[in-house]
Structure 1
Amino acid sequence: MPLHCVAPTLENCSPQMMAAPPNLSEPHDKACLAYPLGTNSHSFLQRTLYPIILKFEDIAYKVGGEKKGKCSGGKSSTGEKTILNGATGMVCPGEILAMLGPSGSGKTTLLTALGGRLYGNLSGRISYNGQPFSGSIRRLTGFVSQDDVLYPHLTVKETLLFTALLRLPQTLSREKKLQHVEHVITELGLTNCRNSMIGGPLFRGISGGEKKRVSIGQEMLINPSLLLLDEPTSGLDSTTALRILTTIKRLASRGRTVVTTIHQPSSRLYHMFDKVALLSEGCPIYYGPASNALEYFSSIGFSTSVTVNPADLMLDLANGIAPDSRHEIEQCNNMEQDQQSIREILLSAYDKNISARIKIELCSSDANDYSHSKDVFRRTHTKAEQWCTSWWHQFKILLMRGLRQRRYDAFNRLRIFQVLTVAFLAGLLWWQTPTSHIADRITMLFFFAVFWGFYPLYNAVFTFPQERAMLIKERSSGMYRLSSYFLAKTAGDLPLELALPIAFTFILYWMGGLKAEPLTFILSLLIVLYSVLVSQSLGLAFGAILMDVKQATTLASVTTLVFLIAGGYYVQRIPPFIVWLKYLSYSYYCFKLLLGVQYSENDYYECSKGAYCRVVDFPAVSSVGLNHLWIDVSIMAMMLVGYRLIAYLALYRVQ
């Protein structure tokens, strides 16, 4: 039902605002950086912000069916589950809105919706200065997730510098970006740990509070007008939490719009909030100034006779537990009924006392503000979004970051030791195999095809599943194109992926006594490297499609087993109805190519004393043949391109 009211103005919202908001729907360099560029401007954190008024009305989000259920947070008869129902509010520049509620109340879901990152059955209206969410607004928005998604082997300075190089426009020089990084490090109190590694599960790095400040610093590099934080104090002690929130308060005081979720803040933290939204099972039961919350709940009969942290009282009410002066739970059997009764009282009071007032505040004088989303808010995607940096710049920075991240990776050293050890042991077992022992020499060639057909595959399946959280975080921020990330990631893996088979081939080829001709050796090496690239491509495809390491490795093990059996060595006469399997095996083509460069159709070997037989008649050779080698090369080329294309397309659905 339409409401007739007076629209809020910037002056009504916040005294910190200096100018009217720009039209954020227009693509411009300002979409890349939330402050105007100038040659003589001072510190970027003190530059003029483009203020954003965030409004959200009747936000609802359901999982399952499409029938609208009541505000119960449970499942309806159609199997749907209501995660959010009726969340409404407005945040102005200079204000901090804290969303409180017990676990599962919908705080993170609402925050994700406000950040334009929620997909699915989302309804309601969300506007940013009257505009829908777009790529321009995305680049004015900083989003700090609850989990600190950071590369463990990068230092604090490197983490922030690579973020600056990717997120700040190319109109700024590298020196200017470095100045921004240094200022953020100083501003967030990270000077003492600037050269320390982030750290991870396997080795110690900076503290949890410092990691959280690094995550905030990554978003502050773009000087966002809207800052969204999910549980910024989670897992931190009270002193560290106070430092984090003090920093956030200081950032908000400069004209930023800040929204944060928080689970159970101390009284010191609570009184730093300007507004509070309290959720219970996805439904709002309070929205308003933080300082008025106790007075409001007292006015509807929920008061307490003791001094209490307002957040504790509000969380008790959200859980259906009344303070001592209102209700005493006498029997455990009636506890659930009592809790539901209290929630109904709170919901009724919210609808009567708060809901209409909020909608009057949200009402705009321009009816066209919401004409684009009359009933349902839909996140907009435009392919014409303006990127802050060029494709080539993104590729270079991502490649450099990937190489820097892998420099201390102990797993790489373990792989080097593993490959070299296998090469030397295999060289000793096949030491200078005579040409007459053709079975052993062919087995050696098949070992080349199998080892370098399967080893890179199992390493590649880890690539994208391990990067999923980082990819979602950075792609959601519009940091880079997917194509630049994909090529940089795969190119960064090539040095080690190709260096190991080169070393392996050098060792085993000459120790095993294969054909001692330079051209034959070079061709054999190129075939092995070719097989590595194809195998890696299939592993990348498995990882990108499944995005789960366990599932991907299981699928890889089944695939390699089939390729091993159908590779042309173990089974020479495959039944006709299943013979097509060997043509799917790149190991089959690699084995055939290795045989083709070692032998020709006119070669002979000593099959018994004084008797010679044609190599092409040997069972393992005759099963694959020595002709049409260029066709095999072409088929492997199609596999190489096809598998990588599948992997690239599969990454598009990662969100």
Structure 2
Amino acid sequence: MADIEAQTNKKMESDRLEATAFSTKANHPVTWRFNDIHYKIKSKQTSFLIPKKEKLDERTILKGLSGVVSPGEMLVMLGPSGSGKTTLLIALSGRINGHLDGAITYNGKPFSSEMKRRIGFVTQDDILHPHLTIVETLAFTALLRLPNTLTKQEKLAEVEVMISLLGLSKCKNTIVGSQTLRGVSGGERKRVSIGQEILVNPSLLFLDEPTSGLDSTTTQMILTMMGEFAKGGRTVVMTVHQPSSRLFYLFHKLLLLLEGNAVYFGKGSEVMDYFSSIRYSPSVPMNPSDFLLDLINGLSMNDPNEDPTIVKQKLVSSYKNNISEKLKSERQESDDEHWCKDGSYEDSNFEIWPTTWCQQFCVLLRREIKERRYESFSAMRVVQVLLIAFLCGFLWWQSDDSHLQDKLGLLYSIQNFWAFLPVLKAISTFSREQKILEKERSSGMYRLSSYFMSKSANDLPMELALPTIFTLIVYWMTGLKPTLPHFLATLFTILLNVLAFQGFGFALGALIMDQTAATILGSVLALAFVLTSGFFVQNVPQFFAWIKYLSIGHFTYKLLLISQFKADDTYPCPKFGGLCKVGEFPNIKQIGLEGKATTVLALVVMLVGYRLIAYIALLRIGVTKKN
């Protein structure tokens, strides 16, 4: 009896949570229309016989699609792979790049920054931070996307309700995981993705293949949940590959796509009657979705010998004759009936960003720290730096000015080591999170500047601590100038060099967004900077001498020389009478020991300039197209 009572109480609590979450009406219900949507892409093709000859191949992906979906309705797009489902979904959510013909309106208005905040989009692949737990993932989403009209405690309370609603209470403290990192199951991960979007109570929710790869029980739970979510006055649009017959009749509206053409748009309950009216019906009882997909692929059960091409042509023609004109009149009627009295979703209190810049920066910084707390490469880097530091210390043990060339080799090696290490690390900073950045920027979650600064700030402790430890070890072991001003000047130069090369890595990674290609190019350019630093080649040809002014390594090496030597300092040189001036040493004379302020300024300009390039390059990510 106790078990039965506990189960009953648990069921009542579940029903209460569901009622709390889904009975709340949408803040701004949206009637969504799309009319005569065309979308073409151009791609370069290389001729097989003439590899150097390229031609532009234009493909039409969407061919004049139209429809209307009202608040409280769930539209499902069905069609074989390559029919244009995902492309249409992305286009209708305002996230497509390129030229899109046709009109898409939301309560009669075009896409806007406010509408972007009213839209939720669940991608087919679950784009989540793998090292965060479920509760952390949803909490950071709530703190970033929910407005400041709610307190932090109220936002976190919403998270707890959502976790209970999604049935994730038992695993809420488990990391999300990924294909290479063990975490929650695929169905649980999908529910987390959906929960991120439901949290903000969107007026319009798009889902791309939300049931892909899931078992039938989880699939039914998700589709049922979406049906309940729509009942609160929201508009739900999703693509589904092949639903079961039990789930098929949950769909309020159905859009069937065939190679970019519509072959049906209307109520899901009436689709079989429509195809029967044009003489296409199953000869045996079967899953409606199986029959429709076979039919769209040109397989007619009425006449198995009928040419598939002819079947497809008949379906497209029948749609234009029987549904297209009727759809136009329905859209015209719905133009006069908006859920909002003024026909608008606009809010007089609307602000572009749900939270302040400082809030975004702090939350993103905390998320970044938590996400990367499990990474092992930081410990490996510490060991790497310590090994190189002691190796340098023993190789140049208490080197004095009688071996001036050896000291120059030490300074060059330090500059060289702290050129490649920060570049190779910084290159992957943005490329590994490109999909997450695209997803979150498209939803208007935060400013790009707050994201950029949080990434930079998270790397600073490690980027500054390791060079400092390295310098402390090497400086005193190798017998460099044993005074505090000389030590601080050397440390300042190394840190400035690290930050400048880090900015260079940021810029490369943001511009290329391919870790392998960026690493190769970064290694080549970093090596070019090192080679032009002035240690290896003093007599660079005039036509190529200008490159040193673009080299971080050149200015760093010069500043390291200035931090240790003055032109009037002397060193033992028995061949020339016992003592010689440091400023006359060939390798130093070529570079010079003057212009300290100018050298520092050049490195600061590079430090800021490369970061500015990286920031500008990131602006293109997650920018939605205004239709």
How high is the TM-score relative to the length of structure 1?
A: 0.85
**1:161 aligned to 2:139?**
yes
Q: 1:214 to 1:391 in 2, by over 3 A?
A: same
Report the Cα offset of residue 364 of structure 1: 4.4
Query: 2: CA distance between counterparts of 1:194 and 1:603?
Result: 66
Q: 1:520 to 1:91 in 2, by over 3 A?
A: same
Residue 48 of structure 1 corresponds to which residue in structure 2? 25
The equivalences for 1:503-542 within 5 A come to 503-542=469-508
Query: 2: CA distance between counterparts of 1:298 and 1:365?
Result: 28
Report the Cα offset of residue 365 of structure 1: 7.4
| 2:441–2:621 CA contact under 8 A, matched in 1 | no
Q: What SS does the corresponding residue of 2:538 show, helix, strand or coil?
A: coil
Query: 2: CA distance between counterparts of 1:292 and 1:131?
Result: 30
Query: 2: CA distance between counterparts of 1:605 and 1:266?
Result: 86
Measured against aligned partners, the alpha-carbon deviations of 1:535-570 in whole angstroms (never above 9, x if no partner) come to 011111111111111221122122112112111000
The equivalences for 1:353-368 within 5 A come to 353-364=322-333
Q: 1:406 to 1:327 in 2, by over 3 A?
A: same
Report the more deviating stretch, 288-297 or 519-528: 288-297
Query: 1: CA distance between counterparts of 2:138 and 2:32?
Result: 27
Report the more deviating stretch, 236-245 or 551-560: 236-245
Query: 1: CA distance between counterparts of 2:334 and 2:299?
Result: 41
Residue 326 of structure 1 corresponds to which residue in structure 2? 303
Report the more deviating stretch, 568-577 or 250-259: 250-259
Q: 1:444 to 1:300 in 2, by over 3 A?
A: same
| Gap regions ≥5 residues in structure 2 | 1-18, 44-54, 339-349, 623-627
Q: Which one of the candidate residues 217, 221, 225 is aligned to 2:199? A: 221
Query: 2: CA distance between counterparts of 1:312 and 1:417?
Result: 59
Measured against aligned partners, the alpha-carbon deviations of 1:352-391 in whole angstroms (never above 9, x if no partner) come to 111111111101476999xxxxxxxxxxxxxx96221111
Task: Give the letter for the 1:426 counterpart.
Answer: C
Measured against aligned partners, the alpha-carbon deviations of 1:493-523 in whole angstroms (never above 9, x if no partner) come to 1111111111111122222222211221111
**1:180 aligned to 2:158?**
yes
Report the Cα offset of residue 260 of structure 1: 0.3
Residue 407 of structure 2 corresponds to which residue in structure 1? 441
Q: What SS does the corresponding residue of 2:367 show, helix, strand or coil?
A: helix
Q: Which one of the candidate residues 344, 348, 354 is aligned to 1:388? A: 354
Query: 2: CA distance between counterparts of 1:150 and 1:93?
Result: 29
Q: Percent identity?
A: 51
Query: 1: CA distance between counterparts of 2:20 and 2:248?
Result: 30
Report the more deviating stretch, 345-354 or 408-417: 408-417
| 1:44–1:223 CA contact under 8 A, matched in 2 | no
The equivalences for 1:555-566 within 5 A come to 555-566=521-532
Residue 616 of structure 1 corresponds to which residue in structure 2? 583
Query: 2: CA distance between counterparts of 1:422 and 1:321?
Result: 68
Residue 232 of structure 1 corresponds to which residue in structure 2? 210
Q: 1:202 to 1:347 in 2, by over 3 A?
A: closer
**1:629 aligned to 2:596?**
yes
Query: 1: CA distance between counterparts of 2:334 and 2:517?
Result: 54
Measured against aligned partners, the alpha-carbon deviations of 1:615-647 in whole angstroms (never above 9, x if no partner) come to 222222122111111110011111111111111
Query: 1: CA distance between counterparts of 2:93 and 2:468?
Result: 48
Q: Which one of the candidate residues 136, 146, 157 is aligned to 2:124? A: 146
Q: Tell me how many residue pairs correspond in the alignment.
A: 581
The equivalences for 1:123-134 within 5 A come to 123-134=101-112
**1:424 aligned to 2:424?**
no
Query: 2: CA distance between counterparts of 1:604 and 1:134?
Result: 70
Task: Give the letter for the 2:25 counterpart.
Answer: T
The equivalences for 1:247-286 within 5 A come to 247-286=225-264
Query: 2: CA distance between counterparts of 1:142 and 1:286?
Result: 25
Report the Cα offset of residue 603 of structure 1: 1.4
Query: 1: CA distance between counterparts of 2:551 and 2:334?
Result: 67
Residue 314 of structure 1 corresponds to which residue in structure 2? 292
Residue 196 of structure 1 corresponds to which residue in structure 2? 174
Task: Give the letter for the 1:418 counterpart.
Answer: Q
Residue 34 of structure 1 corresponds to which residue in structure 2? none
Q: Which one of the candidate residues 313, 322, 345 is aligned to 2:314? A: 345
Task: Give the letter for the 1:353 counterpart.
Answer: N
The equivalences for 1:430-469 within 5 A come to 430-469=396-435
Task: Give the letter for the 1:556 counterpart.
Answer: G
| 2:570–2:580 CA contact under 8 A, matched in 1 | yes
The equivalences for 1:16-95 within 5 A come to 43=20, 45-49=22-26, 50-64=28-42, 79-95=57-73
Q: What SS does the corresponding residue of 1:437 show, helix, strand or coil?
A: helix
Residue 102 of structure 1 corresponds to which residue in structure 2? 80
Q: CA RMSD in A?
A: 2.1
Q: Which one of the candidate residues 499, 519, 522 is aligned to 2:465? A: 499
Residue 30 of structure 1 corresponds to which residue in structure 2? none
Residue 652 of structure 1 corresponds to which residue in structure 2? 619
The equivalences for 1:111-130 within 5 A come to 111-130=89-108
Query: 2: CA distance between counterparts of 1:367 and 1:574?
Result: 76
Report the more deviating stretch, 225-234 or 400-409: 400-409
Residue 35 of structure 1 corresponds to which residue in structure 2? none
Report the Cα offset of residue 417 of structure 1: 2.1
Q: Which one of the candidate residues 403, 409, 416 is aligned to 2:375? A: 409
| Gap regions ≥5 residues in structure 1 | 1-41, 66-76, 330-337, 370-383
Residue 74 of structure 1 corresponds to which residue in structure 2? none
Query: 2: CA distance between counterparts of 1:133 and 1:364?
Result: 21
Q: 1:368 to 1:559 in 2, by over 3 A?
A: farther
Task: Give the letter for the 2:322 counterpart.
Answer: N
| 1:303–1:326 CA contact under 8 A, matched in 2 | no
Report the Cα offset of residue 328 of structure 1: 2.6
Q: What SS does the corresponding residue of 1:301 show, helix, strand or coil?
A: coil
Query: 2: CA distance between counterparts of 1:290 and 1:364?
Result: 21
Report the Cα offset of residue 430 of structure 1: 2.0
Measured against aligned partners, the alpha-carbon deviations of 1:274-313 in whole angstroms (never above 9, x if no partner) come to 1111101111011112122222212212222111111111
Query: 2: CA distance between counterparts of 1:125 and 1:53?
Result: 14
Query: 2: CA distance between counterparts of 1:326 and 1:265?
Result: 25
| 1:193–1:206 CA contact under 8 A, matched in 2 | yes
Residue 638 of structure 1 corresponds to which residue in structure 2? 605
Measured against aligned partners, the alpha-carbon deviations of 1:457-493 in whole angstroms (never above 9, x if no partner) come to 1111111111211111011101111111111111111
Q: 1:294 to 1:368 in 2, by over 3 A?
A: closer
Measured against aligned partners, the alpha-carbon deviations of 1:160-191 in whole angstroms (never above 9, x if no partner) come to 11111111111211000011000110111111
Residue 580 of structure 1 corresponds to which residue in structure 2? 546
Task: Give the letter for the 2:566 counterpart.
Answer: S
| 1:276–1:289 CA contact under 8 A, matched in 2 | yes
Task: Give the letter for the 1:48 counterpart.
Answer: K
Report the Cα offset of residue 344 of structure 1: 0.4
Task: Give the letter for the 2:311 counterpart.
Answer: I
| 2:24–2:232 CA contact under 8 A, matched in 1 | no
Q: 1:365 to 1:94 in 2, by over 3 A?
A: closer
Report the Cα offset of residue 241 of structure 1: 1.9
Query: 1: CA distance between counterparts of 2:411 and 2:227?
Result: 66
| 1:302–1:326 CA contact under 8 A, matched in 2 | no
Report the more deviating stretch, 402-411 or 155-164: 402-411
| 1:457–1:535 CA contact under 8 A, matched in 2 | yes
Measured against aligned partners, the alpha-carbon deviations of 1:73-122 in whole angstroms (never above 9, x if no partner) come to xxxx9842110012122222222111011111110111111111113221
| 2:22–2:228 CA contact under 8 A, matched in 1 | no
Query: 1: CA distance between counterparts of 2:187 and 2:386?
Result: 42
| 1:567–1:591 CA contact under 8 A, matched in 2 | yes
Query: 2: CA distance between counterparts of 1:47 and 1:211?
Result: 25
Task: Give the letter for the 1:266 counterpart.
Answer: S
Query: 1: CA distance between counterparts of 2:458 and 2:255?
Result: 46
Q: What SS does the corresponding residue of 1:139 show, helix, strand or coil?
A: helix
| 1:156–1:214 CA contact under 8 A, matched in 2 | yes
